[in-house]
Each structure stands twice: as structure tokens, then as C-alpha cells.
Amino acid sequence: MQSPRVSFLRWATFVLVNGSLCLASLLALQHMVPVIRGEPASLLVVPMSVISAAAFAAMYPLLLRWRLRLQRAALLYAFFLLGLLAYGAWLTAWLGGEPRGFYLAFYAGHWFGLPILAGLGIVNLVLSPLLCPAS
């Protein structure tokens, strides 16, 4: 299977749109959840924004290869899990090597992150004719 050609402009737009939505969601989450309201942005917003942007950048070429919506949803969830794994590793290092960083990342990531992921999925479904024109 020949891989489709990746347009830099579409790739950058995909990363920018999804990264911006993710950042806005994280900022809103930080202000709405009482437990993390007083925490610095370097605890959640900054690392998850960087991880999300890297995930979206790596995901786009793979997204072009898969045409079915279910495959793309599975790819989005797989990168969501990889992002939680990366954040769990960062949180574990931040906590001094305690493994509860992984537990916290996976539990809170699914509790608060799945609605954000569903919203990103809907936005990508609507924008897929623009960002992934072969789909």
C-alpha cells in the first residue's frame, strides 16, 4: 500500500487546530475542577499540551492511510493512550518516582479526557474533507 503524500499546510493545520482545541480544553478543565484549580500550569496544561501536539503531529500521516471512521477513531484513542502513558511517565518523575503518577494519569485522563477526546473526534469528523481530502 502506497502511503499518501502529506501536505505540510494540511499537516500544520491539523496539528494547530487539534492542539488549540486540546489546550483550550485543558485550560477550561483547570479552571473547572476544584482539585487542580490552584495548581500551576506546569503540572497539567503545559506537559499535556506538548504531548498532545507531538501526538497530533505523529498521527496525521497515519490518519491519511486509514479511510474508515472506526479505524480513525481507534487511531485517535491509541494516541490518547500513548499520551496518557507519556504524561504518566512525566508525572511519575515529577512525584519522585512513585508509580501513582501512572494511575493518576490513566484514571483522571479517562475521567476528564474522554469527553475532550469525543469532542476532538467530532471536530475531526466535520473537518476531515478539508484536512484529509482523500477521505
Domain ranges of the chain: 8-131
Mean pLDDT of 37-41: 88
pLDDT grade, residue 110 (50/70/90)? very high
Whole-angstrom distance, CA of residue 40 vs CA of residue 7: 37
What does the pLDDT look like over 83-106, one tens digit per residue?
Answer: 999 999 999 999 888 889 899 999
pLDDT at residue 60, rounded to an integer: 92
pTM of the model: 0.87
Whole-angstrom distance, CA of residue 83 vs CA of residue 7: 24
pLDDT at residue 68, rounded to an integer: 86
Per-residue pLDDT for 118 more than 90? yes
Whole-angstrom distance, CA of residue 125 vs CA of residue 75: 13
